[in-house]
Amino acid sequence: MVYLVGAGPGDPELLTLRAARLLAEAEVIVYDHLVSAPILDMGRGEAQRIYAGKERGNHTLHQNELNQLLVRLAHEGKRVVRLKGGDPFIFGRGGEEVEALAAAGVAFEVVPGITAASGIAAYAGIPLTHRDYANSGLFVAGHLKDGSVNLDWDSLVRPRRTLVVYMGLVGLPTLCRELAAHGMSDATPAAIVQHGTTQRHRTVVGTLATLPQLASAARLTPPTLIIIGDVVRLHAKLAWYEALAAEQAAAQPGSEAAPQAIP
């Protein structure tokens, strides 16, 4: 049996009860680089842990090797948890993995997780929809395999729409330039959040015109999530998680002040 399990965006408290239970029961845990260490520690000490990689430009296992590995482990009768960051069916190639399992006749279940968009929006105080600002939202992947950015720009620049861009750090300058070229106002609020919901959570807020420069000056490191649209205005008022961390840092002088917001 293979359980394809979403691990959420980083904070272990955002795991589902089902994910936590399956992790505690797993004999083998096959995990991605996005899965944080405290979540992996929720598995049994004796469970075998296999790193499947997938950092940008560093794919430890190729997708079909990985698919074969899952099939082999299942055929060995192991209770396997395939643990992926966020939700397994959102930009996680979870679909391809369960297709391979289905083709090999391996039984599987899929456990949803909190995807980066909703976890990070919540922690950054940026509601993805809001009656005053946005009545639709779109999740897009910010880069292609060859590093270029090629999106259906006209559908991205509709009014009252929040854009959430996964895997967008490298393509951020192109993204902002193309959105402006397709009619989005330069003054549209935009934010990029690094390591959302973790101790390293950090938000940089700007506009379509300024965000690429601000993000590069802040030397953000992946994973990062980009949110573009008028809802980003609310971050200034609603960034509860960053406020909490700032309070904690003030209470413990000398400690790393993270997470933090850069206005």
- The catalytic residues are 32, 54
Q: How far is the CB of 101 from ligand SAH (least distance, A)?
A: 18
Q: By CB under 6 A, tell whether 195 contacts ligand SAH.
A: yes
Report long-range pairs for 13-19 (Cβ below 8 Å, ≥24 apart): 14/113, 14/114, 14/119, 14/197, 15/39, 15/42, 15/113, 16/111, 16/112, 16/113, 18/111, 19/83, 19/111, 19/113
Interacting residue with ligand SAH among 31, 123, 166, 241 (CB under 6 A): 166
Within 10 angstroms of residue 250's Cβ, the number of other Cβ atoms is 10
Per CB under 6 A, contacts with ligand SAH among 110-139 are 115-116, 120
| 106 contacts 127 by C-beta, under 8 angstroms | no
What is the Rg, in whole angstroms, of the alpha carbon atoms belonging to the chain?
A: 19
# chain residues binding ligand SAH, by CB under 6 A: 23
Q: Which is nearer to ligand SAH, 143 or 161 (CB)?
A: 143
Site string for ligand SAH, 9-28 (x = CB under 6 A): xx------------------
Q: Which is nearer to ligand SAH, 74 or 167 (CB)?
A: 167
Q: Which is nearer to ligand SAH, 33 or 160 (CB)?
A: 33
Site string for ligand SAH, 66-105 (x = CB under 6 A): ------------------xxxx--xxx-------------
Q: Which is nearer to ligand SAH, 120 or 211 (CB)?
A: 120
| 8 contacts 113 by C-beta, under 8 angstroms | yes
Q: By CB under 6 A, tell whether 34 contacts ligand SAH.
A: yes
Among 9, 8, 231, smallest CA distance to 126 is for 231
Helices (H), the chain: 17-25, 37-40, 63-75, 94-103, 116-124, 153-156, 172-181, 211-217, 235-238, 240-251
Site string for ligand SAH, 211-230 (x = CB under 6 A): -----------xxxx-----
Q: 3-state class of 251 per DSSP?
A: helix
Which residues of this chain interact with ligand SAH, rule CB under 6 A?
9-10, 34, 84-87, 90-92, 115-116, 120, 166-167, 193, 195-197, 222-225
